[in-house]
């Protein structure tokens, strides 16, 4: 058998050997599909496209194994299998890329908030949520939606859900006396809650 890779084609007998069928089967199917390639007294050669077409037709009639399940026997057969495998891999890569693109906003959001193992203040929350507003506007929004009370402390139900907590901060007044300020901070669950609430009110 000549070097199939160098000439880029296969004879009817070579195709039959690869497919494990009789040469007459290959010849009959090839003649049906490509009658112009047959000349009396001359050896018939099938190029890569013709081999693939004949192979598919024979597989349809004889229920042969798929190309990827057949051990390649020639250089041309290997090229056919590699090309089909590359096409399948490219399709999988495109699907994975599409899934990554759909998940990108959520990934970016959690990348920004996972640096905080506990909670963040409202100014930081406004920044990482990328809502286009600052701390005071976010406070107003949460008060208007009955999440925070007028003193900017969360209602107990939202504390119980693990969205917020309050902390005491001591500070010194101008007269030297010490006072305590109650500050509201947001857990990571609370950040996600605020983002969803904002989307429901302004985007949906």
Domain ranges of the chain: 4-90, 117-202
Q: What is the pTM of this model?
A: 0.42
User: How far from chain centre, in Å, is Cα 186?
Assistant: 31
C-alpha span between 88 and 90 (Å, rounded) = 5
Assigned fold of 4-90:
Multidrug-efflux Transporter Regulator; Chain: A; Domain 2 (1.10.1660)
Which pLDDT band holds residue 113 (cuts at 50, 70, 90)? very low
Q: Are the CB atoms for 44 and 37 separated by under 8 Å? A: yes
User: How far from chain centre, in Å, is Cα 201?
Assistant: 29
Which pLDDT band holds residue 158 (cuts at 50, 70, 90)? very high
Of 35-49, 114-128, 175-189, the range with the lowest mean pLDDT is 114-128
Q: What is the mean pLDDT of residues 113-118?
A: 50
Q: Is the pLDDT of residue 105 over 50?
A: yes
Neighbours of 83 (CB within 10 A): 13
Q: Over the stretch 53-70, which tens digit does the pLDDT of each residue have?
A: 888 888 876 554 444 455
Q: Is the pLDDT of residue 142 over 60?
A: yes
Q: Are the CB atoms for 153 and 182 separated by under 8 Å? A: yes
C-alpha span between 30 and 4 (Å, rounded) = 18
């Amino acid at each position: 058998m000549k070097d199939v890779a160098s000439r880029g084609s296969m004879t009817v007998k070579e195709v039959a050997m690869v497919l494990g069928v009789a040469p007459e089967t290959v010849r009959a199917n090839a003649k049906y599909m490509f009658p112009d390639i047959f000349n009396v007294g001359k050896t018939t050669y099938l190029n890569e496209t013709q081999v693939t077409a004949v192979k598919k037709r024979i597989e349809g009639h004889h229920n042969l194994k798929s190309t990827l399940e057949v051990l390649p026997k020639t250089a041309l057969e290997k090229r056919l299998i590699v090309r089909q495998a590359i096409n399948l891999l490219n399709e999988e890569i495109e699907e994975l890329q599409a899934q990554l693109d759909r998940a990108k906003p959520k990934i970016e959001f959690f990348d920004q908030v996972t640096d905080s193992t506990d909670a963040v203040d409202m100014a930081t929350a406004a920044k990482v949520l990328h809502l286009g507003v600052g701390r005071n506007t976010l406070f107003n929004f949460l008060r208007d939606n009955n999440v925070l009370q007028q003193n900017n402390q969360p209602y107990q139900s939202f504390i119980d859900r693990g969205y917020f907590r309050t902390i005491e901060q001591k500070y010194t007044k101008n007269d030297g006396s010490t006072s305590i300020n109650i500050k509201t901070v947001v857990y990571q669950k609370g950040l996600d809650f605020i983002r969803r609430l904002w989307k429901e009110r302004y985007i949906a």
